[in-house]
Structure 1
């Protein structure tokens, strides 16, 4: 797990967790370090075990306050099918936000963070690419998170007047 450096009063981590148990464990670890809300951005790889997809969403929804579900190397599989598999038999699936574009999902998750919140961007870790059916593109969760954090600002809190 790697902390993305920032001067903001939030924490953003990148991790390689890409199956149900590691997602649950990383969220349980971060829960104890998070005074605010715990968010996760993650996805399920295409052309991989379809049966673990709903288990990954269930783990994310069990341990995080908010889940942003996105692409993670969809390969030759349609992202809509991956999302459909993830939702299967997960009653609370509608509480998550599903966004196909990983950059957009990371940006929206970071934009939603409030002071004291933590975000874990899971699944790709150190990977510097995203695999699609017809191409592989350069993509780094860490770089995208750093760019989004550089754009984020909080309004200063009004201070109580001294009497």
Structure 2
């Protein structure tokens, strides 16, 4: 017997779309940072963000960050979840960046990612986001990259949930 589901269809989209991510805001994970609900349009979205947490802004050069979500299914075991990998690259190795990336590598995070289309997405809604890979490289030629790169992975029941811009505007950002 098939599971009950509600299909909604997807219309052709005439808008342009830009890849990549622009910025990320991360914080230490805690239960209840994000409240997820159904908005007036009937879509699932973040409806509130706890004011008890402080987010830290992470900036990087255009074309060096990405977010990729992969649906994982094991039908025999009834498992279905989405792994989202957020890759952040910080050009030019230096002590302050090394310290910052090393702190991210300890994991236990939650955050918000701004994509190239101006949409905000929540990660770490139901469990902590953890580092799953990282590199530091100098390259060999003058034109090679010199950077730190870290991959943060979120496992969630579905694809990332959008954070409406008015809800994002309520977060506490460290100065």
Smaller-chain TM-score bracket: under 0.3
Which structure features the higher share of helix residues? 1
Larger radius of gyration: 2
- Give the structure with the larger strand fraction: 2
